[in-house]
């Protein structure tokens, strides 16, 4: 067996040895982190600011398939998914805790790969890993991350502030993560039938990266601050545009018109959709996992963003009584529908 492939069983190191292995190189980046990992709890100090807190759970076979998801990417994504929630509050993430449950199929080296991704995300976003729990499970891998962020008083942007006539904006492009997933699933099916087949992934780097190594829109929170725009409401796009718009409208007690031909999509997303005979609009509306930001701004702020390539205005807010509509390219209005994990996601 070559040195690269040597695997250590977790029982050899034990729980405490494993924790030591994955936490030994942690360096604290934020002055609000007083004590990090190693005690019953971490200690944080936020003085005059408010804290935001959010949690997400990823389970094997539901949120990820280890057949085509490198563990390092998975660790990275598990953190990103949470940071995205903090940015969606207009806040800055500062600390995370990570709980993982592992079945016996995972080696110490596998856990280290996972933590390489977790540490890299912490590094890239200036976040401190301050605690967590590492335990066993009967089957598969579960990752639960909690993130804390800070925000100045009265600067938090909730889902509930959208007003009639506000503009509905989105960052980046949509549907890419979903089409990346479809491509990975297709190649995985081919591989299961014939293990000599090499996966055909060329030319689809962008949508694969959208699925396997998404980023959170830290830059948008910074850009909004620079532009002196405080959105009236904001949410991140984890479940698909349709579902997130419905959340905003419900919490703000408003309606909206969303314009089909305004929804930003990348060329690769459209190409893959055509290749797989999927309507790209479905990928954008219901696909999810794009981790872009959806927000509303006052009409008065229109001039500040109209030429910024990071933002696309995709519709506007109406009275609740007017409903939540998708206006198709043909000009007809269709009621938007909610998605969630009950729909087979």
Three-state secondary structure call for residue 274: helix
Question: Which of 111, 96, 109 lies closest to 26, judged by CA?
Answer: 96
Contact yes or no for 156/284 (Cβ under 8 A): no
Nearer to a second copy, 13 or 265 (CB): 13
Nearer to a second copy, 146 or 211 (CB): 146
- Restricting to residues 249-268, which ones interact with a second copy according to CB under 8 A? 251
Shortest distance in whole angstroms from residue 146 CB to a second copy:
4
Shortest distance in whole angstroms from residue 54 CB to a second copy:
4
Nearer to a second copy, 18 or 121 (CB): 18
CA–CA gap between residue 272 and residue 274 (Å, rounded): 5
Reported in sequence order, the residue ranges of 194-252 that DSSP labels E, i.e. its strands, are 233-236
Nearer to a second copy, 231 or 280 (CB): 231
Shortest distance in whole angstroms from residue 8 CB to a second copy:
12
**Residues 175-214, mask of contacts with a second copy (x by CB under 8 A):** ----------------------------------------
Give helix 205-212 / helix 176-193 axis angle, nearest 10°. 100
Beta-carbon-side half-sphere exposure of residue 291 (alpha carbons within 13 Å): 23
Nearer to a second copy, 130 or 174 (CB): 130
**Residues 6-35, mask of contacts with a second copy (x by CB under 8 A):** ----xx-xxxx-----------------xx
Shortest distance in whole angstroms from residue 293 CB to a second copy:
10
Contact yes or no for 180/283 (Cβ under 8 A): no
- Restricting to residues 286-325, which ones interact with a second copy according to CB under 8 A? none
Nearer to a second copy, 46 or 302 (CB): 46
CA–CA gap between residue 242 and residue 221 (Å, rounded): 22
**Residues 123-162, mask of contacts with a second copy (x by CB under 8 A):** -------xxxx-xxxxxx-x-x-xxxx-x-x--x-xxx--
Contact yes or no for 175/287 (Cβ under 8 A): yes
**Residues 210-239, mask of contacts with a second copy (x by CB under 8 A):** ------------------------xxx---
Residue that the structure tokens 């990823």 belong to: 58
Nearer to a second copy, 42 or 326 (CB): 42
CA–CA gap between residue 269 and residue 181 (Å, rounded): 11
**Residues 79-108, mask of contacts with a second copy (x by CB under 8 A):** ------xx-xx-x---x-xxxxx-------
- Restricting to residues 34-73, which ones interact with a second copy according to CB under 8 A? 34-35, 38-48, 50-63
Nearer to a second copy, 249 or 273 (CB): 249
Contact yes or no for 148/94 (Cβ under 8 A): yes
Q: What is the DSSP string of 94-134?
A: EEEEEEEEE-TT-BHHHHHHHHHHHHHHHHHHT-EEEEEEE
Shortest distance in whole angstroms from residue 259 CB to a second copy:
25
Nearer to a second copy, 59 or 124 (CB): 59
CA–CA gap between residue 114 and residue 124 (Å, rounded): 16
Shortest distance in whole angstroms from residue 196 CB to a second copy:
28
CA–CA gap between residue 207 and residue 183 (Å, rounded): 9
Residue that the structure tokens 């409903």 belong to: 323
Here the tokens at position 236 are 């991140």
Q: Which stretch binds a second copy (CB under 8 A): 110-118, 201-209, 262-270, 333-341?
A: 333-341
Binding residues for a second copy, total number by CB under 8 A: 74
Three-state secondary structure call for residue 283: helix
Contact yes or no for 15/134 (Cβ under 8 A): yes
Shortest distance in whole angstroms from residue 40 CB to a second copy:
4
């Amino acid at each position: 067996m070559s040195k690269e492939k040597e695997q250590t069983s977790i029982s050899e190191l034990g729980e405490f040895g494993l924790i030591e292995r994955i936490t030994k190189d942690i360096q604290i980046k934020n002055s609000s982190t007083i004590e990090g990992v190693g005690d019953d709890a971490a200690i944080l100090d936020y003085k005059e600011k408010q804290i935001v807190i959010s949690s997400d759970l990823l389970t094997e076979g539901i949120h990820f398939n280890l057949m085509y998801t490198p563990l390092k990417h998975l660790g990275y994504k598990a953190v990103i998914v949470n940071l995205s929630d903090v940015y969606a509050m207009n806040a800055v993430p500062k600390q995370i805790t990570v709980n993982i449950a592992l079945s016996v199929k995972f080696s110490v080296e596998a856990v280290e790969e996972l933590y390489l991704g977790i540490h890299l995300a912490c590094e890239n976003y200036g976040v401190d890993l301050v605690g967590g729990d590492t335990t066993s499970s009967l089957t598969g891998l579960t990752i639960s991350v909690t993130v804390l962020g800070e925000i100045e008083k009265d600067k938090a942007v909730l889902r509930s502030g959208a007003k009639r006539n506000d503009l509905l904006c989105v960052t980046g492009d949509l549907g890419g993560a979903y089409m990346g997933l479809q491509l990975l699933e297709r190649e995985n099916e081919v591989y299961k039938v014939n293990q000599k087949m090499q996966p055909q992934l060329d030319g689809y780097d962008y949508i694969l990266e959208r699925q396997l190594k998404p980023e959170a829109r830290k830059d948008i929170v910074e850009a909004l601050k620079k532009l002196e725009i405080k959105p009236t409401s904001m949410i991140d796009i984890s479940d698909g545009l349709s579902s997130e718009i419905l959340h905003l409208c419900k919490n703000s007690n408003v309606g909206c018109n969303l314009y089909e031909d305004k929804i930003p999509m990348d060329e690769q997303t459209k190409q893959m959709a055509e290749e797989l005979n999927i309507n790209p609009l479905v990928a954008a509306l219901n696909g999810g996992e794009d981790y872009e930001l959806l927000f509303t701004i006052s009409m008065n702020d229109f001039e500040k963003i109209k030429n910024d390539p990071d933002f696309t205005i995709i519709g506007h807010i109406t009275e609740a009584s007017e409903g939540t509509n998708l206006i198709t390219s043909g000009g007809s209005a269709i009621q938007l529908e909610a998605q969630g994990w009950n729909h087979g996601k």
